[in-house]
Chain A
Amino acid sequence: MSEEMVLRVNDLNVFYKNRKRKLFSKKNKKIQALFDVNLTMEEGEVLAIAGESGSGKSTLARAIVGINKDYQGQIWQKYDRPQMVFQDPYSSLNPAKKIGWLLAEPLRVDKDRKWTKEEIDQRVKEIMEEIELPLSMLDRYPAQLSGGQRQRVCIGMALMRSPKLLIADEPVSALDVTIQAQILELLENLHKKHGISIIFISHDLRVVYQISDHVLIMKDGRVVEEGPTRQVYKNPKHDYTKQLLKAAGIA
Chain B
Amino acid sequence: MNKSQFKRNLRDNPYLLAGMIIIGLVLLMIIVGLFWTPYDTTAMNASEKLQGISLRHIMGTDNMGRDVFSRVMYGSRITLLIAIGTVFIGAGLGTIIGAVTGYFGGMLDEVVMRVVDALFAFPSILLALVIVSVFGTGWIQLLISLGIAFMPSFARIVRGEVLRCKNMDYVENARLQGVSNLRMIFVHILPNIKGVLASSILIGFNNAVLAEAGLSYLGVGSQPPYASLGKMLSDAQQYMFTTPSYVLCPGIVIVLMVLGFAFLGEGISRWK
What is the minimal beta-carbon distance from A77 to any residue of chain B, in angstroms? 14
* Given A94-B192, A96-B191, A97-B191, A110 and B178 contact (CB-CB distance below 8 Å): yes
Residues A67 and B176 in contact, CB atoms below 8 Å apart = yes
Main secondary structure of the interface of A (DSSP, over half): loop
Whether the Cβ atoms of A109 and B178 lie closer than 8 Å is yes
Given contacts A92-B170, A96-B191, A109-B183, contact A67 B175 (CB under 8 A): yes
The total of chain B residues at the interface (CB under 8 A) is 17
Distance to closest chain B CB from A64 (angstroms): 11
- B172 close to A (CB within 8 Å): yes
Given A96-B192, A97-B191, A109-B183, A91:B177 Cβ within 8 A: no
B180 at the interface (CB under 8 A from A): yes
- Any A CB within 8 A of the CB of B49: no
Given the known A-B contacts A95-B192, A96-B191, are A83 and B176 also in contact in the complex, defined by CB atoms under 8 Å? Answer: yes
A84 to B170, CA, bound (A): 11
B55 at the interface (CB under 8 A from A): no
Name the one of A81, A92, A95, A161 contacting B173, with C-beta atoms under 8 angstroms. Answer: A92
**Contact of A94 with B175 at beta-carbon distance under 8 Å, contacts A86-B169, A88-B169, A109-B180 already known:** no
Does B140 make an interface contact (CB < 8 A)? no
A154 at the interface (CB under 8 A from B): yes
A120 and B172 alpha carbons, distance in the complex (Å): 22
Query: Within the complex, which residue of A67, A86, A94, A110 is in contact with B188, where a contact is CB–CB below 8 Å?
Result: A94
B10 at the interface (CB under 8 A from A): no
Report A-chain residues with C-beta under 8 Å of the C-beta of B175.
Answer: 67
B-chain residues with CB within 8 Å of residue A88 when the two chains form the complex: 169
Give chain A nearest CB distance to B78 CB in angstroms: 36
| Complexed CA–CA distance, A96 and B168 (Å) | 13
Contact indicator B169/A92 (Cβ below 8 Å): yes
Q: How far does the Cβ of B155 sit from chain A's closest Cβ, in whole Å?
A: 21
Contacts of A93 in B (CB 8 A): 170, 173
In the assembled complex, the Cα of A25 lies from the Cα of B169 at a distance in Å of: 32
Chain B residues with Cβ under 8 A from A105's Cβ?
174, 177, 179
Cα distance, A234 to B204, chains bound together (Å): 68
Using Cβ atoms and an 8 Å threshold, which residues of chain B touch A97? 188, 191
Say yes or no for A157: interface residue by CB 8 A criterion.
yes
Cα distance A67–B169 in the bound complex, in angstroms: 11
Chain A neighbourhood of B172, CB < 8 A = 67, 86, 92
Pair A94/B170 contact, Cβ less than 8 Å:
yes
Asked if A106 lies at the interface with its beta carbon under 8 angstroms from chain B, I say yes
Known: A81-B176, A86-B173, A160-B177. 15 other contacts (CB 8 A): A65-B176, A67-B172, A83-B176, A83-B177, A84-B176, A92-B169, A95-B192, A96-B191, A109-B177, A109-B178, A109-B179, A109-B180, A111-B178, A157-B177, A161-B177
24 example contacts (A-B, Cβ-Cβ < 8 A) are as follows A66-B176, A67-B172, A67-B175, A81-B178, A83-B176, A83-B177, A86-B172, A88-B169, A91-B170, A92-B169, A92-B170, A92-B172, A93-B170, A93-B173, A94-B170, A95-B170, A97-B191, A106-B178, A109-B179, A109-B183, A111-B178, A157-B173, A160-B177, A161-B177
Q: Which are the 5 A-B pairs with shortest beta-carbon distances?
A: A96-B191, A92-B169, A106-B177, A94-B170, A91-B169
- A residues adjacent to B (C-beta < 8 A): 65-67, 81, 83-84, 86, 88, 91-97, 105-106, 109-111, 154, 157, 160-161
